[in-house]
């Protein structure tokens, strides 16, 4: 079953992408310009692999973006993405210049002491 995964956080590309590079990336990814400045990437391309929309897919997608385009063009990507699911599954994806890695955890909340 397919589901939507919502991330919060921010990834910054430095220096700013040129129009030429934005057009090239738009051949492969959904990129939407923002009203004031910058743009937004969507991760729609992850769905082609199937129904899995997990953290490793997103981390691999970011690494592929950097290896295929950004690093070759002289850009750096930095920031963090966070995700909390309804089943107490949490993660963070750290991106530092040329590498993205994720940390995942299943969180369980113990009952209050008076229920033991």
Does 3 map to a domain?
no
Length of the chain: 116
Is the model more confident about 70 or about 26? 70
Residue 24 included in any domain: yes
Q: Each residue of 33-92: pLDDT tens digit?
A: 666 666 666 655 444 333 335 677 788 888 988 999 999 999 999 999 887 666 667 788
The residue behind tokens 């009952």 is 111
Distance CA 105, CA 20 (A): 39
The confidence score (pLDDT) of residue 31 equals 72
Cα(42)–Cα(97) distance, integer angstroms? 20
pLDDT score, position 56: 78
**Helix residue ranges, H only, 1-116:** 19-26, 55-65
Residue 2, domain member (yes or no) = no
Within a domain: 1: no
In a domain, 76, yes or no: yes
Domain assignment present for 102 = yes
* Domain residue limits at 43: 8-115
Q: Is residue 60 part of a domain?
A: yes
Neighbours of 55 (CB within 10 A): 19
Over the stretch 12-22, which tens digit does the pLDDT of each residue have?
Answer: 889 988 889 98
Whether 45 is in a domain gets the answer: yes
How far is the C-alpha of 116 from the C-alpha of 110, rounded, in Å? 10
Predicted confidence at residue 96, as pLDDT, reads 93
Number of domains in the chain: 1
Helices (H) and strands (E) in the chain, counts: 2, 6
Residues 6+ apart with CB under 8 A from 90: 82, 83, 84, 104, 105, 107
Q: What is the value of pTM for the model shown?
A: 0.70
Cα–Cα nearest to 11, from 92, 73, 91: 92
């Amino acid at each position: 079953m397919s589901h939507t995964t919502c991330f919060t956080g921010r990834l910054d590309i430095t220096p700013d992408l040129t129009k030429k590079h934005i057009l090239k990336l738009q051949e492969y990814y959904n990129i939407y310009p923002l009203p004031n400045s910058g743009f937004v990437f969507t991760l729609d391309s992850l769905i082609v692999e199937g129904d899995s929309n997990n953290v490793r897919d997103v981390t691999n997608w970011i690494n592929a973006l950097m290896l295929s385009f950004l690093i070759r063009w002289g850009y750096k990507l930095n920031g963090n993405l966070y995700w909390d699911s309804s089943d107490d599954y949490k993660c963070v994806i750290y991106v530092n210049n040329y590498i993205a890695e994720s940390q995942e955890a299943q969180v369980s909340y113990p009952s209050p002491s008076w229920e033991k």
